[in-house]
Amino acid sequence: MNTRPIPSTQEALPVIGCGTWMGFDVAAASAGHRRLADVLDALVATGGKLIDSSPMYGRAEAVTGQLLEAARQRDKAFLATKVWTSGREAGIAQMEQSFQRLRTERIDLMQVHNLVDWRTHLATLRGWKDQGRVRYLGITHYTASAYADVEAVLRAEPLDFLQINYSLDAQEAEQRLLPLAAERGVAVIANMPFGGGSLLRRLREQPLPGWAAEIGCASWAQVLLKFVLSHPAVTCTIPGTSRPEHLVDNAAAGVGSFPDEGFWRRNAASLP
Ligand SMILES: NC(=O)c1ccc[n+]([C@@H]2O[C@H](COP(=O)([O-])OP(=O)(O)OC[C@H]3O[C@@H](n4cnc5c(N)ncnc54)[C@H](OP(=O)(O)O)[C@@H]3O)[C@@H](O)[C@H]2O)c1
């Protein structure tokens, strides 16, 4: 799988990761839980690393922590989670809980979820980064109505990562946020590359266009991920999945080259 450098350190990050919203919120000892062990195995086997979670995602952090510990794969993962509450003490308590749930002493990336009380949490996180408890810090959002606020924080604060929605059916981040992230030396994690799943469900009803094979894509999922990764400011993307066969499908989009902007402009008209 291709990697891209995290601008603040030049550490290489594999371009396809795994989101845990919904898919990882499962009961222990359920069939879904056992399947997630295969999802994480597939992530590691295909060269992926980044797992993105949040205390907002129910049991997802705890499930991720249990599975990584059971498979002894903590050191193979780049663990990203979030803080999603208000107030310094509440933020600290929630992040301490994330360390416990993820069963780790160091979180690779801690993000302020949807900018909730970002000033407070970034102040805490800068101290934790100095102590080595978190390696990188960032902010996240998922909707264009928040982009003006996201832009203001990107301009005001030194950040390692921006996580933002970007997909074939939601390209607004191209206008200001992606160029600004590149200018500020901030890595970008593209979330919701399948529009939360609805875009992919719609496209899967249609045959793949002839040009998909030209760019090495055997599925609509791969076309959508190649699109996201074609933007030079995007460092990686985190399709959410609870199925190992989908993880393998997605990971294949991280191999080979990525078409340029002109390719997508020329072929946009033939998209259903
Ligand atoms: N504000 C924020 O910070 C924020 C907001 C939104 C998302 N996120 C993060 O970004 C991640 C991705 O976003 P998302 O999960 O909302 O949406 P998404 O990645 O756009 O789509 C996920 C959906 O696509 C399906 N899928 C995945 N791979 C597939 C494949 N190869 N073939 C067919 N279906 C496939 C999944 O179902 P299966 O389980 O059946 O594969 C799931 O229903 C989240 O999981 C979360 O970690 C963060």
In one-letter notation, the amino acid at residue 261 is E
Shortest-distance Cα residue to atom 42 of ligand 1 = 197
Please tell me whether the overall predicted TM-score, pTM, comes out greater than 0.95 for this model.
yes
DSSP 91-125: HHHHHHHHHHHHT-S-EEEEEEGGGTTHHHHHHHH
Cα(127) to centroid(ligand 1), Å: 32
> How many helices (H) and strands (E) are present in the chain, helices listed first?
11, 10
What pLDDT is attached to residue 269? 78
Q: Please tell me the class of the 13-255 domain.
A: alpha beta
Position of tokens 């928040």? 146
- Site to probe by mutation for ligand 1, drawn from 200, 219, 249 as the one with most ligand atoms within 8 Å of Cβ, is 200
DSSP 209-255: PTHHHHTT-SSHHHHHHHHHHHSTT--EE--B-S-HHHHHHHHGGGS
What pLDDT is attached to residue 251? 98
Nearest alpha-carbon partner for 36 in 12, 57, 13, 8: 57
Can you tell me the distance from the alpha carbon of 175 to that of 40, in angstroms, rounded to the nearest whole number?
Answer: 34
Please list the pLDDT of the chain residue by residue as tens digits (272 residues): 999 999 999 999 999 999 999 999 999 989 999 999 999 999 999 999 999 999 999 999 999 999 999 999 999 999 999 999 999 999 999 999 999 999 999 999 999 999 999 999 999 999 999 999 999 999 999 999 999 999 999 999 999 999 999 999 999 999 999 999 999 999 999 999 999 999 999 999 999 999 999 999 999 999 999 999 999 999 999 999 999 999 999 999 999 999 998 999 898 777 77
Cα(130) to centroid(ligand 1), Å: 32
Can you tell me the distance from the alpha carbon of 7 to that of 235, in angstroms, rounded to the nearest whole number?
Answer: 9
Structure token digits, residue 212: 């998909």
CA separation (Å) from 244 to 45, 70, 203, 248?
A: 11, 17, 21, 6
Nearest alpha-carbon partner for 77 in 95, 102, 111, 97: 102
Ordered by start, the domain boundaries in the chain are 13-255
3-class SS at 149? helix
Query: Ligand 1 atom closest to Cα of 141?
Result: 1
Cα(253) to centroid(ligand 1), Å: 15
Ligand 1 site residues (CB inside 6 A) read 19-21, 23, 52, 113-114, 140-142, 163, 191-197, 200, 221, 238-243, 246, 249-250
Name 255's Cβ contacts closer than 8 Å, sequence gap at least 6.
Answer: 1, 2, 216
